[in-house]
Structure 1
């Protein structure tokens, strides 16, 4: 029998998808130099090797909606675990497993894209699965565990890469050691696959597929002590009008989809991946930090990110989604505008690291975990998988755009750098953070403590108000 304790255990299992998300996207950091030497890569080829997983992420996010909708949330996660495992082995042995491409380099790219597809699927399905099994009172903190797992996965692989690098000299690392870095993902991927075999399908997916007896049994076991009958009636009501397939682009759903896309895009265009991907470069370019000191400071950034994500886990169901989002975005705006202004005035000092850490801390208690909480719970049952897939696609695409444009804006030979002394991109991200505060205040409702079906009714009521000509302000 599944109980509240089991829900937490299931959440930890499913959140391994988030850990693999972080692990797979960060493993390349320790192997980049080795790949360049081993494959004799040009800078452009090395850049593509590092970013090729993003192509898979975009593809995976698009595929995830159909896979999780047709075959189930659990099956989609099992599929992602298999892709993670294949990618790990193939990336470590691209010559031996070169069955579908011409060169060893293209074989490596193929397996990195496969891993990216797994990341894209897991990044969408893991928080959705957790949201669909979590009691309303605990949903925010449980979904936030997925964000914690992502960051933890990044930190784990940094230490794994460092440990592998200590096993031999540079010659060994360039010829053999980098393979161990990619192969190390086999362990968490295999564990993820095995543990998923012991978790159930989500009750809401079972109900959508007409498997009402199984769904009702799971809802009852997940909600001991809660008003089970009330919640079951809400689920039945939300599914009763689904005689025809509902499109995410239908008149009733499109406004919610637009808000979901807006949250996804704003999470990225406020600049988080600039610090996650380019922190050492920023610290070295704006200060006298050496490479070793810059890397040490980057570890500090990761530790702050992890610490404040834990704070968010304990805060999101206590203080609510909107206050955390608005407070965090405001602090992010202050940090970015301060960095940009200091750079423009050529007044960068030791406080650069302070504002970077303030930004990371603010993101970690707001846009990092809470965006995923909102995305996982805001869409109606009938279109949740497809709508969330579209929103996550927008997120990955925005990630790609920010990651590609920052180096160009930060290039010391560029017009923007010379005109604004490197401050321009940080001003852009700061303005986007200010807009995020307004966006959340004006259009995003508070979802704390409401069941997924109550949220669905909330959106229905808002749409009805709008159809009758009443002004709609989603601040309830």
Structure 2
């Protein structure tokens, strides 16, 4: 019978993956907009090192709340309602930041933006993983990272253009976030619910309809059977204590450690504090903003390379290459900053570090977090790992201005080099390859569930 081979509706899968991944674009926007706005915000709100770090990091505090909310919504209401709420929060907070007339209101609005970022950062990769064929899952989840870096690049370009619009340019930088937020909200309305969540919720007919849209009838039957089996006995696993059950704990430890490592590896200080780093070697404001654009372009190009390689080379080799490569590059970069090297030379090694991160830790961490947890508790387990990620991001961006003031802009990079080396050994010892396996096969092999 010709229906005994599995085939996929690749156009449909790519379409719903890209729409879900628009949450990543908004993540990229809120992540990058601060880099271009900081020179203006320092003047507007008379920021010292402490408040500069807290203002930048307030996004991460919101992300932590957003992850917890998203974990609960994803498990109880579904993936789609959570994505819709994230889009709405993005739109409102963008307007709020643009209109803020004092530091307190601005930080509250940036915190709210973080809630949306946190929700999308968890739900978009998880949703894509749940609707993707195993052999294309790495590439499809990496689409989310692609939209993040497109968001970063487009935002940096807009910031660069808006910089000449006077002291209130930053208001336009933040306010324009309402446009992609509205487009994301409209797109999410069209998305189907995740078939894995529908089966868990007992909505069997709807789940079968979605599976029949994703692939042919043989795929739908096989996948339905595998998901149903993996859900057996999982109905009661709805609490956060279930995430730390003995059988699941090894995967949770790996997920949390990778999430923390992705942030404490230090690359996000380059994204968020580009102006601070290049100001340290004498670059003017125009050059500082130009560097944010160059970073965005390199980030985009090498994320595309990662999408091409993540299902070929695999997750583990990319993580090993990235962590060791960053460790070496940071030592060189710290030395250049310490010796007050020319901005052009500093730029070369900053861009090499961005390229290394974009092909490894940036996309692959999100892919692994979306893959390694069982169906029955994927929402809550993912939220625990991503709460850890955003907590680490807050620590990173809050401490950098303070460390840079104490040690000079070069000092923190020696610390990040050590962290990257430690990350290399962790990946080597603890991270298993996941490419090409279904989520249900991974549940058996990684957890023994």
Q: Assess same fold via TM > 0.5.
A: yes
Matching residue of 2:270: 275
Matching residue of 1:436: 423
1:128 to 126, 129, 145: 126
Q: Deviations over 1:400-446 (max 9, x none)?
A: 111122223322xx3x55xxxx6542222122222222222211111
1:218 to 203, 210, 213: 210
SS at the partner of 1:27?
Answer: helix
Alignment of 1:302-381 (within 5 A): 302-341=296-335, 346=339, 348=341, 351-381=345-375
Matching residue of 2:141: 143
Alignment of 1:75-224 (within 5 A): 75-94=81-100, 105-166=103-164, 168=165, 170=166, 173-174=167-168, 177-224=169-216
Task: Identify if the C-alpha distance between structure 1 residues 90 and 310 changes in structure 2 by more than 3 Å, giving closer, same or farther.
Answer: same
SS at the partner of 1:250?
Answer: coil
Q: Partners in 2 of 1:423 and 1:109 — Cα distance?
A: 28
Q: Deviations over 1:3-28 (max 9, x none)?
A: 32011111111111000111123223
Q: Partners in 1 of 2:397 and 2:42 — Cα distance?
A: 20
- Ranked by relative contact order (alpha carbons within 8 Å, sequence separation 6 or more), the top structure is 2
SS at the partner of 1:91?
Answer: helix
2:403 to 406, 409, 428: 409
SS at the partner of 2:433?
Answer: coil
Which consecutive unaligned segments of at least 5 residues does structure 1 have? Answer: 96-103, 464-476
2:72 paired with 1:66: yes
SS at the partner of 2:190?
Answer: coil
1:35 is displaced (CA, Å) by 4.5
1:36 is displaced (CA, Å) by 5.2
Q: Partners in 2 of 1:434 and 1:256 — Cα distance?
A: 22
Q: Partners in 1 of 2:9 and 2:313 — Cα distance?
A: 26
Which consecutive unaligned segments of at least 5 residues does structure 2 have? Answer: 1-7
Structure 1 ranges of 4+ moved more than 6 A: none
> Could you tell me whether the CA contact under 8 Å between 1:331 and 1:358 is conserved in 2?
no
2:70 paired with 1:57: no
Q: Partners in 2 of 1:147 and 1:114 — Cα distance?
A: 22
SS at the partner of 2:311?
Answer: helix
1:224 is displaced (CA, Å) by 3.2
Matching residue of 2:5: none
1:227 is displaced (CA, Å) by 4.4
> Could you tell me whether the CA contact under 8 Å between 2:35 and 2:271 is conserved in 1?
no
1:288 is displaced (CA, Å) by 4.4
RMSD after superposition: 2.3
Q: Partners in 1 of 2:291 and 2:97 — Cα distance?
A: 29
1:207 is displaced (CA, Å) by 0.8
Q: Which has the larger radius of gyration?
A: 1
Task: Identify if the C-alpha distance between structure 1 residues 138 and 226 changes in structure 2 by more than 3 Å, giving closer, same or farther.
Answer: farther
Task: Identify if the C-alpha distance between structure 1 residues 245 and 149 changes in structure 2 by more than 3 Å, giving closer, same or farther.
Answer: same
1:352 is displaced (CA, Å) by 3.0
Task: Identify if the C-alpha distance between structure 1 residues 360 and 368 changes in structure 2 by more than 3 Å, giving closer, same or farther.
Answer: same
Matching residue of 1:473: none
Task: Identify if the C-alpha distance between structure 1 residues 49 and 248 changes in structure 2 by more than 3 Å, giving closer, same or farther.
Answer: same
Matched residue count: 437
Matching residue of 1:242: 234
2:412 to 409, 425, 435: 425
Task: Identify if the C-alpha distance between structure 1 residues 319 and 252 changes in structure 2 by more than 3 Å, giving closer, same or farther.
Answer: same
TM-score (norm 2): 0.90
Task: Identify if the C-alpha distance between structure 1 residues 284 and 116 changes in structure 2 by more than 3 Å, giving closer, same or farther.
Answer: same
Q: Partners in 2 of 1:234 and 1:206 — Cα distance?
A: 14
Task: Identify if the C-alpha distance between structure 1 residues 385 and 243 changes in structure 2 by more than 3 Å, giving closer, same or farther.
Answer: closer
Q: Partners in 1 of 2:37 and 2:87 — Cα distance?
A: 22
